[in-house]
């Protein structure tokens, strides 16, 4: 499995000075899971749904007063779409990064989060368990 198979590509790009309230609105309108804070064409940070909840819980201000850049994660790590998930997870762990940009050359292709990797892993384990359970039933005569 490769990064391109799990990365989020539904991100909305917004200027880093825009508000978290606008980010929420754009995410809802576009059914997006994240906003990428940009300065021109340069990605600077990522604001996920999970991060928004965390920021709003801790903030003493309404979302219209919080700038995206002040709330966003600033990933230092850049992954490639063709990288294996195992390698990406290793690099994210070594760099203590929960979110990473996925870059295709100089263009941002999406983001990958630890949550994305763990969610996929959980589903894979569940599918494997179901396969084994079905095999056991077959072997035991369907009991």
pLDDT of residue 29: 94
pLDDT of residue 25: 96
pLDDT of residue 82: 96
Q: Which domains does the chain have, with CATH numbers?
A: 3-139 (3.10.580.10)
pLDDT of residue 27: 92
Residue 118 neighbours by CB under 8 Å, 6+ apart: none
Please give the backbone phi and psi of residue 20, each rounded to the nearest 5 degrees, phi first.
-65, -35
Please list, residue by residue across 93-125, b when 16 or more beta carbons sit within 10 angstroms of its beta carbon and e when fewer do. Answer: eeeebbbbbbeeeeebbbbbbeebbeeeeeeee
At 61, list the tokens: 């201000």
pTM, entire model? 0.69
**Distance, C-alpha 121 to centroid of its chain:** 14
Cβ atoms of 54 and 76 closer than 8 Å: no
pLDDT tens track of the chain, all 143 residues? 899 999 988 888 999 999 999 999 999 999 888 899 999 878 899 998 889 999 999 998 999 999 999 999 888 889 999 999 999 999 999 998 888 999 998 888 888 988 888 887 655 455 555 555 555 666 666 55
pLDDT of residue 19: 97
Cβ neighbours around 132 below 10 Å, total:
10
pLDDT of residue 14: 94
pLDDT of residue 48: 86
């Amino acid at each position: 499995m490769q990064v391109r198979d799990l990365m989020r590509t539904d991100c909305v790009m917004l200027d880093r000075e825009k508000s978290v309230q606008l980010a929420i609105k754009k995410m809802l309108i576009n059914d997006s899971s994240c906003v990428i804070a940009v300065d021109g064409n340069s990605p600077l940070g990522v604001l996920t749904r999970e991060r928004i909840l965390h920021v709003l819980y801790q903030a003493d201000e309404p979302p219209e007063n919080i700038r995206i850049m002040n709330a966003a994660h600033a990933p230092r790590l850049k992954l490639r779409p063709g990288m294996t998930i195992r390698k990406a997870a290793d690099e994210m762990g070594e760099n203590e990064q929960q979110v990473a940009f996925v870059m295709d050359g100089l263009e941002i292709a999406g983001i990958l989060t630890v949550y994305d990797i763990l969610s996929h892993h959980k589903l894979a384990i569940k599918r494997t368990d179901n396969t084994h359970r079905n095999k056991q039933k077959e072997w035991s005569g369907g009991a």
